[in-house]
């Protein structure tokens, strides 16, 4: 394979992994069938499309993604976003819209992988993702109200769906309500049993199977209970070969971009969570590429946009999968299920799927994590709230863009901040001025700067330096840049201009702890000439050596003022052998030298 392709390394398959991989795949199948049917219903697609999306796409993803444990296929939050695209499909066939959407999503993701853009997913905050998932969970629950009561009515925004459902309650079907509540009760009961016994009995497939058996035994569908075949019959056989209709592509690009972002965020979050537990190396760009190929395959095999499934991936890992082959076997098993179980699945009550979706919606609203986000910071709380409300007030693709935009704003707001602290001598040590009282600032001032010195921080740094230089008693300002990084031309020009202005006022700006990279920027930009080479001191191997040289230079420029730093300068060993424990109580500890 060409090296420029972000593909996982080829490894020899161990024989002892066959049994655990097969067991894991078989177990995941019992969760994948009900989820596939239910998620396709959320997306406004024929239920069989959800099963198609868990076959070839799952196999392709397992072959080409970085993680050996993530199972790709239909997911709840992504299905809701796809449903928005299907609902606004300009009168086109829903399945045709979904196929085209899958192709566009796959192309976006594969391209991101080829361009090695894996790190981009880090710019979307956890608060935004949690806000979207929480909002989507509420929408999923409200979206199943009509199915749970066997009624029909207007759907759309949250309040529209709720209002339509309340108006239709007069024609509610008791059997549908009973099946919905029974499904919820079975799932909750099995979960409680699992928590007590430590077992992993698949609650979803048992609840759905039980509803199916009750329907067949008592022939409830002949009495008005709606089943899957009433929505769209599941045909027996393998997924069909399909060709996306590119005439829909222009109008779907914004939605496809939103789906691509959500899919990558979901997949990467799942992969990272598992890799941290398993100690498996993870390549985000390979994840992007593999997920993109998975979506492209979905477009040609009757599916719709897919992502890494948290529930199925976690189950795959917990039951003992050893390699990526478990995902491949799972896809093959789903193909077998499609070829043999289609006629039987047609009799599954729609109300039982609604019950499962209520459980999914409940699981998506993670109260514990929401409280943690709210306690973490005001910014995270705002990001979560705005994104969640956006899912209810706008279309879901717009909500995604609002969340991503908010993530970038919060990132830039934090990234542009530089920390500037004034250090004052206290005997042989240096302390931050903010921790002391009644400080008598002398003509020589020392500032310690931390952060990224890129163009976004130039204004803030200039303001901080100018405040000190504007004080009439300041003759020399020593700025320590040892813990600052990323100096660019904008910030270098600012330092040069400030140095020239300071010199015109009879004062001096001195830089110490300048890294080789920063020194090169100062030199190439012309700022070094403005500062004066005698006033710029590069980093050295010895502790505090550059700082000591800068303060010595300040003493030369202001002999009467630098005596305050004499004890500190005297404590510095010229051979650089000063012990760590002697600096522990100093602001300039070994980590900040």
Going residue by residue through the chain (593 aa), what tens digit of pLDDT does each one get? 566 677 787 788 898 899 999 989 998 998 889 889 989 988 989 999 999 999 999 999 999 998 999 999 999 889 988 988 887 765 678 999 999 999 999 999 999 999 988 777 766 777 887 888 888 888 888 988 999 999 987 767 788 888 989 999 999 999 999 999 999 999 999 999 988 988 878 888 899 999 999 999 999 999 999 999 888 888 889 999 999 999 888 889 988 998 998 888 888 878 877 886 777 888 888 999 999 999 999 999 999 999 998 788 988 887 789 999 999 999 999 999 999 988 899 999 999 999 988 988 888 888 888 988 888 778 888 889 998 998 888 877 788 788 778 877 777 666 656 889 998 888 788 888 876 666 777 888 999 999 888 887 888 899 999 999 888 888 999 999 988 888 999 999 999 999 999 999 989 999 999 999 999 999 999 999 999 999 999 988 777 888 888 888 988 887 665 567 877 777 775 544 443 333 333 344 433 34
- Report the pLDDT value the prediction gives residue 42, as an integer from 0 to 100: 87
- Report the pLDDT value the prediction gives residue 58, as an integer from 0 to 100: 96
Nearest of 562, 576, 159, 234 to residue 389 by alpha carbon: 159
Residues in Cβ contact with 510 at an 8 Å cutoff, skipping those fewer than 6 apart: 476, 477, 478, 479, 535, 536, 537, 550, 553, 554
Nearest of 297, 300, 298, 267 to residue 285 by alpha carbon: 267
- Report the pLDDT value the prediction gives residue 74, as an integer from 0 to 100: 95
- Report the pLDDT value the prediction gives residue 457, as an integer from 0 to 100: 81
Report the DSSP pairing between strands 508-514 and 536-538: parallel
Compute the Cα dihedral for 326, 261, 306, 135 and give only its sign: positive
DSSP 582: G
429: phi then psi, degrees, rounded to nearest 5:
-115, 165
Compute the chain's Rg from CA coordinates: 31
**pTM check: above 0.85:** no
- Report the pLDDT value the prediction gives residue 498, as an integer from 0 to 100: 93
- Report the pLDDT value the prediction gives residue 417, as an integer from 0 to 100: 67
- Report the pLDDT value the prediction gives residue 89, as an integer from 0 to 100: 62
Contact between 395 and 76 (Cβ < 8 Å): no
Q: What is the widest separation between alpha-carbon atoms in the chain?
A: 101
- Report the pLDDT value the prediction gives residue 332, as an integer from 0 to 100: 96
Contact between 101 and 256 (Cβ < 8 Å): yes
What SS3 state is found at 512? Answer: strand
- Report the pLDDT value the prediction gives residue 592, as an integer from 0 to 100: 39
Report the DSSP pairing between strands 508-514 and 444-452: unpaired
Determine the angle formed by the axes of helices 378-393 and 126-143, rounding to 10 degrees.
Answer: 30
């Amino acid at each position: 394979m060409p090296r420029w392709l972000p593909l996982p390394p080829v490894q020899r398959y161990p024989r002892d992994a066959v049994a655990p991989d097969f067991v894991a795949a078989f177990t995941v199948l019992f969760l994948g069938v009900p989820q596939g049917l239910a998620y396709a219903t959320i997306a406004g697609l024929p239920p069989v499309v959800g099963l198609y999306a868990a076959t070839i796409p799952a196999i392709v993803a397992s072959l080409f993604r970085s993680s050996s444990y993530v199972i790709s296929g239909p997911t709840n939050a992504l299905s809701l976003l796809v449903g928005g695209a299907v609902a606004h499909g300009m009168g086109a066939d829903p399945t045709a819209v979904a196929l085209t959407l899958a192709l566009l999503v796959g192309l976006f993701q594969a391209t991101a992988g080829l361009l090695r853009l894996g790190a981009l997913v880090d710019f979307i905050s956890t608060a935004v993702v949690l806000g979207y998932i929480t909002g989507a969970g509420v929408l999923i629950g409200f979206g199943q109200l009509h199915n749970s009561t066997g009624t029909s009515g207007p759907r759309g925004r949250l309040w529209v769906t709720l209002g339509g459902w309340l108006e239709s309650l007069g024609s509610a079907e008791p059997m549908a309500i009973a099946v919905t509540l029974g499904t919820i009760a079975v799932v909750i009961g099995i979960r409680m049993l699992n928590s007590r016994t430590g077992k992993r009995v698949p609650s979803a497939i048992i609840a759905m199977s039980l509803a199916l058996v009750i329907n067949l035994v008592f022939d409830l569908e002949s009495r008005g209970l709606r089943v899957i075949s009433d929505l769209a019959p599941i045909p027996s056989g393998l997924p069909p070969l399909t060709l996306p209709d590119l005439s829909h592509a222009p109008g779907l690009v914004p939605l496809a971009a939103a789906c691509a972002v959500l899919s990558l965020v979901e997949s990467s979050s799942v992969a990272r969570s598992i890799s941290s537990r398993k100690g498996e190396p993870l390549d985000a760009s390979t994840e992007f590429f593999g997920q993109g190929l998975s979506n492209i395959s979905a477009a040609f095999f009757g599916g719709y946009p897919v992502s890494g499934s948290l529930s199925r991936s976690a189950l795959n890992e917990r039951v003992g999968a050893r390699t990526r082959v478990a995902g491949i076997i799972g896809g093959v098993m789903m193909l077998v299920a499609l070829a043999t179980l289609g006629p039987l699945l047609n009799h599954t009550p729609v109300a039982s799927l609604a019950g499962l979706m209520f459980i999914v919606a409940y699981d998506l609203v993670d109260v514990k994590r929401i409280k943690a986000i709210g306690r973490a910071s005001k910014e995270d709380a705002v990001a979560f709230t705005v994104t969640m409300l956006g899912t209810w007030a706008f279309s879901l693709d717009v909500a995604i863009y609002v969340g991503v935009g908010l993530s970038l704003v919060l990132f830039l707001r934090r990234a542009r901040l530089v920390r500037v602290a004034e250090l004052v001598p206290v005997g042989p040590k240096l302390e931050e001025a903010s921790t002391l009282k009644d400080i008598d600032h002398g003509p020589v001032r020392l500032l310690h700067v931390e952060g990224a010195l890129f163009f976004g921080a130039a204004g803030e740094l200039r303001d901080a330096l100018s405040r000190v230089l504007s004080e009439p008693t300041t003759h020399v300002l020593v700025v320590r840049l040892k813990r600052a990084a990323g100096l660019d031309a904008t910030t270098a020009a600012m330092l040069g201009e400030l140095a020239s202005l300071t010199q015109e006022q009879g004062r001096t700006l001195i830089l110490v702890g300048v890294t080789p990279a920063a020194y090169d920027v100062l030199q190439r930009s012309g700022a070094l000439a403005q500062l004066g080479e005698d006033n710029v001191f590069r980093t050295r191997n010895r502790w505090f050596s550059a700082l000591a040289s800068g303060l010595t230079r300040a003493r030369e420029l202001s002999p009467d003022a630098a005596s305050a730093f004499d004890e500190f300068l005297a404590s510095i060993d010229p051979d650089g052998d000063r012990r760590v424990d002697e600096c522990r109580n100093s602001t300039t500890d070994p980590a900040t030298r």
